Amino acid sequence: MANLKEIRTRISSVEKTKQVTAAMKMVSAAKLKKAQDAIVQIRPYADKLQEILGSLSGSLSDSEENIYGGERKTDKVLLVAITSNKGLCGAFNSNVFKRVNELARGVYKEQNEKGSLHVLAIGKQGYEILRKSLNVIGEHNEVYNELNFKNVSAIASSVMQDFVAGTYDKVELVYNRFKNAGVQILTNEQFLPVVQSAEDNDTQSEYIFEPNQEEILENLIPKSLKTQFFGAILDSIASEHGARMTSMHKATDNASDLIQDLKLHYNQARQAAITNEILEIVSGANALAN
């Protein structure tokens, strides 16, 4: 059994750790509220734009003007991995790493072996890990320093230009979609080319396009894609704060349990030490008496 000084030192260390994790939990809870409000506000707008986008893309599926739609032979693929700049958020980042590697070894195994599978990392954690096993062509850690639609749309525009230029035939986003503070849904969704769902096809006749579909295409589709990209990052940020809050809550509870166990060991060790001292005193007194 460790001596009393070692146990006291460890108790002090765990108590300081508990204070840190409790503070981080409170900070994440405050940030989560703001991030949750942002994603709740943008989702209806983004979903409606996506619905119109699918309908518009379907109506122009045979048009050469639809530069963001149409099926291509998938030779060159870009995976956009959205993670965080910081850790201590449980499995938030590692889930994205696993999904990207699963796609690289499964669906896009052929492209990966040919070297035509690239990864764009948004977040320091994703860049540091994924570059060890995959071809990471760039990083955008700075986007979290001043997060706004303008900065995110610049990244989305670059990806869209690469798609139009033929640098990539398919672009997918891999991120955590926010559900609530305790649940994040790992998601990989197709960003480009724009696909038309069956629901979009059914509602296509409900829209009257003015002035014409081609002119709307030049404005609405890029805006919708940028909004989708921005929404994915907002989802990821809200998920990050939720995951960190949950992780720090568990860490604080574990620290409390550990402190109780250490105090129990400390009292047992102290009691044993006192008992030994009493026995030595009694033994010494008996020896003098004899």
What residues are annotated to the active site? 89
Burial 134-149 (b: 16+ CB within 10 A, else e): bebeebbbebbeeeee
The CA distance from 242 to 172, in Å, is: 24
Query: Looking at the chain, how many residues does it have?
Result: 290
The CA distance from 127 to 123, in Å, is: 7
The CA distance from 238 to 230, in Å, is: 12
* Residue 38 contacts residue 152 (beta carbons within 8 Å): no
Residue of 106, 78, 82 lying closest to 187 (CA atoms): 82
Dihedral in degrees, nearest 10, Cα atoms 58, 44, 235, 145: 100
Dihedral in degrees, nearest 10, Cα atoms 62, 66, 71, 77: 170
